[in-house]
Structure 1
Amino acid sequence: MTIELDEDAIYETASYEIWVNGRLKGVFHRMIQTIDGLLPDTDYEIMLVRANEASETVTFHTEPEPITLNVRDFGAFGDGVHDDTSAIQAAILCCPENARVLIPKGTYPVTALFLKSDMILELQENAVLAGIYDRARTPILPGQIEYDNEDGYYNLGSWEGNPIDSFASMITGIHVKNVTICGKGVLDGRADFENWWSRPKDKIRAWRPRMIFLNHCENITVVGVTVQNSPAWNLHPYFSNQIRFLDMEVKGPANSHNTDGCDPESCTNVEIAGVHFSVGDDCIAIKSGKIYMGKKFKVPSKHIHIRQSWMQDGHGAVTVGSEIAAGVDDIHISKCRFSNTDRGLRVKTRRGRGKDSVLKGIVFEDLELEGVKAPFVVNSFYFCDPDGRTEYVGTKEALPVDERTPKIESIEFRNIVCRNAHYCGAYIYGLPEQKIERLVFDNVSITYAKEAQTGVAAMMMGCEPASRLGLVIGNVKNLILHNVSIDGQDGERLCLSGVENVEEEQD
């Protein structure tokens, strides 16, 4: 059971007690909190108490479960030495519908585990699934397998927006539904610079695995667990629907390679709530494939809702792109805290993503940013691809609009406080031939660090190192500035180029 407080605080609030059936469960301070240890098919009453004032009592009944399968009964050692992959996989395969597989306290070395539908996988407190680095023993998910009697192919593996062979992940779901992964345990990929991160740009048998990979899955909930030290992206839902990540920790070293926190790719109805990210790349990156996948399947990422989370360190707090060839729609980020990330609210695209790459309905609101180097970045010239530094991608001259040209329709930034920024307040560039249709800053305040660092705000050709820039905005059709406060910048408050219409108002 996961609860969410109905108040205006962001991520954390004043301490409160949770009482379950008249007994104190604990003292908590997060806005989203999971209550574990509940029995199946049981009535419960929950009450919150703060400063001796009690909330209304909430009653509910837990779902029945036919049986719990303990992986120790299937031969798992949990001693940190033996390979427990086959024992845990046996428990999963034997799990009846709506039953539970229990991983008790212990350390369980594994390569890759495959989920089945209609089950619960619970990692108890102090239970650790520990990744085994052995490329020869880890299964490979082929990127493309041709069908025997029809055109097309069966896609299993994926790497950075293309259907390419990749290693199976520690937790892999292929066309499964109705699964919950829960508990206070840990998924530890045990990646480091002696194994998975040592040659990050090289494909060795296959591309690096994720920690949780969900391919064409539906109604999957991951709640309470810690995910750390991933070989690559931590959480990767792919062409999936109704996916929830709740009350989690996702972490990795700041210098680890491609360890994005959560990357929904061509997914619908994704909820990320109460998650603390501290990783070596983007905390969250919303994607929909490179141009081959975008043109073939035309599946955008849409209805992605992120709230009450803390994005700490990393390249970008919440990013849209850059593998975004099928576009995005209805991306809503609210009541989150961003701390010391390189960029805060980040959109990255480029020529070549294609005409189906339409970005619309992107709203960031009710956020607190602290120490973020470049709080607002929209980059239509993103150069981190093999051809990213070509004249076609990088030129600031208007080119003909064709089937390769992406489009940004609307981005809104509302009720956001940015403290101690470094490089700039905002660095935003649309394409000259396909300008950003509508860009809104509403009730946004920006202050700068006293000893602001100098750096490059956007990964685009021609973006020079800078410090304390104001709002740098180019190639926008309609720019709306309402109650925008900028304090401490060097030079002009607004640096505009190629902006057709500006509406500015202060209450």
Structure 2
Amino acid sequence: MKRSILLLSIVFMCFSKEVFSQSYSWNKLPQIQKTSFKTDTFNILKYGAKADGITLNTKSINDAITACSNKGGGVVLVPGGMWITGPVEMKSNVNLHINRDAVLQFTDDFKQYKLVEGNWEGRPAVRNQSPISGTNLTNIAITGTGIIDGNGDAWRMVKKDKLTETQWKNKVASGGLLSDDKKTWYPSEQSLKGSKIENAGVLLPGKTAADYADIKDFLRPNLLVLTNCKRVLLEGVTFQNSPAWCLHPLLCEDLTVRNVYAKNPWYAQNGDGIDVESCKNVLLEGSTFDVGDDGICIKSGRDADGRKRGKPTENMIVKNCIVYHAHGGFVIGSEMSGGARNLFVSNCSFIGTDVGLRFKTNRGRGGIVEKIFVKDIAMKDIGGEAILFDMYYMAKDPVPLAGENREAPKVVLLPVTEETPIFRDFHISNIVCNGASKAVFIRGLPEMKISDIYMDNMVLTAKKGIDLQEAKNINFKNVRVIVADTNPVVNIQNSSLISLDNLQYNSNADLLFNVNGQSSGIKVTNTDASKAKTKTAFSAGADSKALVMK
């Protein structure tokens, strides 16, 4: 695998130096303010903590954090050992430091986690208190090279199709309950009950946390939630086995995440790596993600709640990260109703993710996602699309399970309203993908086409090529697609102002361009169409004048 990554990296050096039509934007990266702490150290041992794997150390750890903050801040030290604890609450000016030989193990006793009013998937919601949380804090950190374990296996439901036969039998034998169709295991009756309630946990008018007690177990917490905090550092720690999302900074400013490892089982439902939601001035670098859902995900609230909040995720740098198993390597959406802008992603590797670059939304979200810059990305063994833009997100795994059939969405034209999402102004360059189901898939809405996408200097090896639907002003330059299915290499449907400059493809391809529907303004330059058995095909009302080769 190391050799494959090295070869992909060498290809980058062969690319043209001209990578972005707006490359100057990379010179205007955000400045992130750093944390700073006193050297005073507060060892949790001095507050009565015991590393015997039995004692519940919740009070001792929180007492150390409170004492540290009250005395002006410093380092709260978790030394080597196995430390069992309930919820830990961060406070301002505290650096919670986890030693290399330490495991901060959160208890599987659900009674230790009280129901609180918080946020889930972009909406106000009731959840169990997160294992680690902090609200309205300034200058906080979690550092070290030890392990923080959320005991997520005790919380999560699991689908039978995602386990081996032996794993499934062991899970059923451990207790819990099965869904009516016997295809999903739930850890408790409360968990099963909650699964049958639409939008379970969403905080309704006039309700309080106490009103959700009968489905408490279903309301799984995120491992780490930091809300409205400023100057935050997460560095070096392994965050693993989260009940739901692993890392969730919400409405934070000046956030640095460096050299962390987010690790969840591949079957972990909602087991995202990091979800940066409505945050400003963010640096994520040198980190590794191997999780059950999206790896690096950008969010900003859902539907009317997100639009009312009106806080985009903006001014963010992502660099030198690796994503192994995940539904997407770098992801925006689908809860992006507050928008996202000025995001810079570079020098990352996606190995075995379902999708590489994944940009998803649907009607009802609203929000504008724009000024997104991505370059120098190496991908290998991508299960679905290497690059995906989709405005018909269905809240399902991006790669269907064996035997699962999915119908294409019905395409209808609707009026443009505040609920109509917008994807525009993306710049993607220097991409190598060695193996995917499809190279590029762009699917917009009839009333709001995905627009102003610039892709150049790419080598994409996949089963299928480029598929554009309901798109406008899409530009490819110096792109090579090597595909198994060459009928067609490029499909264009109901799209306009498409530019392909120096497109390279398989020799003897069956069909180079398939154009259908209301498509127009397709310009092909510096491309040898003679290598294809058939250059163009037009159907479903498409005019042969829609495509011009020069």
TM-score bracket for the superposition, by shorter chain length: 0.7 to 0.9
Gaps of 5+ in 1: 1-7, 14-61, 143-156, 386-392, 449-467
Deviations for 1:294-342, whole angstroms, at most 9, x for unmatched residues? 2322111111211100000111111100011111111221100000101
Q: Counterparts of 1:160 and 1:208 in 2: how far apart (Å)?
A: 12
**Structure 1 consecutive aligned stretches of length 4 or more whose deviation exceeds 4 Å:** 8-13
SS of residue matched to 1:409: strand
Please give the TM-score of this superposition, normalised by the length of structure 1: 0.77
Change in CA separation of 1:229 and 1:10 when aligned onto 2, cut-off 3 Å: farther
AA aligned to 1:476 is: A
1:166 aligns with 2:180: no
1:195-226 CA distance string (max 9 Å, x none) = 33354763532621112110101110010100
Q: Does 1:473 align with 2:468?
A: yes
Q: Contact between 1:361 and 1:410, CA under 8 Å: does it hold in 2?
A: yes
* Conservation of the 8 A alpha-carbon contact between 1:159 and 1:207: no
Give yes or no for contact 2:322–2:349 (8 Å, CA) kept in 1.
yes
In the alignment, what sits opposite 1:175? 136
Alignment equivalent of 1:315, drawn from 314, 321, 327: 327
- TM-superposed deviation, 1:269: 1.2
1:463-503 CA deviation, whole Å, 9 max, x = no partner? Answer: xxxxx121111111101110010113302111111221122
1:412 matches 2:427: yes
Aligned equivalent of 1:370, options 380, 405, 414 = 380
Q: Which residue number in structure 2 is paired with residue 327 of structure 1?
A: 339
Deviation at 1:98, TM superposition (A): 3.2
Amino acid of the residue matched to residue 466 of structure 2? L
Whether the 8 Å CA contact 1:168–1:209 is kept in 2: the answer is yes
Query: Which residue identity does 1:503 align to in structure 2?
Result: S
Partners in 1 of 2:351 and 2:261 — Cα distance? 15
After superposition, the CA RMSD in angstroms is: 2.2
Residue matched to 2:32: none
Report the alpha carbon displacement of residue 139 of structure 1 after superposing the two structures with TM: 2.4
Contact 2:77 2:96 in 1 (8 A): yes
The 1:318–1:77 alpha-carbon spacing in structure 2 relative to 1, beyond 3 Å, is: same
1:226 maps onto 2:238 in alignment: yes
Question: Pick from 117, 138, 155: which aligns with 1:195?
Answer: 155
Q: Distance in 1 between matches of 2:251 and 2:7?
A: 30
- TM-score, with length taken from structure 2: 0.71
Structure 2 residue matching 1:398: 3-state secondary structure: coil
For the structure 1 residues 487 and 405, does the alpha-carbon distance in structure 2 shift closer, same or farther, using more than 3 Å as the test? same
Return the structure number with greater helix share: 2
Matches within 5 A, 1:145-294: 157-192=118-153, 194-197=154-157, 199=186, 202=195, 204-205=215-216, 207-294=219-306
The alignment covers a number of residue pairs equal to 408
Distance in 1 separating the partners of 2:439 and 2:307 = 35
- Name which of 450, 453, 474 aligns with 1:436: 450
Q: Deviation per CA, 1:13-68, whole angstroms, max 9, x where unpaired?
A: 9xxxxxxxxxxxxxxxxxxxxxxxxxxxxxxxxxxxxxxxxxxxxxxxx9773521
Does the 8 A contact of 1:383 with 1:394 survive in 2?
no
> Whose radius of gyration is greater, 1 or 2?
2
Q: 1:446 aligns with which of 460, 466, 480?
A: 460
Cα contact 1:11–1:309 (8 A) shared by 2 = no
Separation in structure 2 between the aligned mates of residue 272 and residue 140 of structure 1, nearest angstrom? 30
Aligned partner of 2:114 among 139, 149, 152: 139
Correspondence for 1:71 among 44, 51, 62: 44
Please, which runs of 5 or more residues in structure 2 have no aligned partner?
A: 11-34, 158-184, 201-214, 397-407, 503-525, 527-550
**AA of the residue aligned to 1:129:** L
Inter-partner Cα distance in structure 2 for 1:208 and 1:265: 18
Q: Does 1:301 align with 2:296?
A: no
- Paired position in structure 2 for 1:120: 95
Match of 1:388 in 2: none
What is the distance in 2 between the residues matched to 1:502 and 1:132?
55
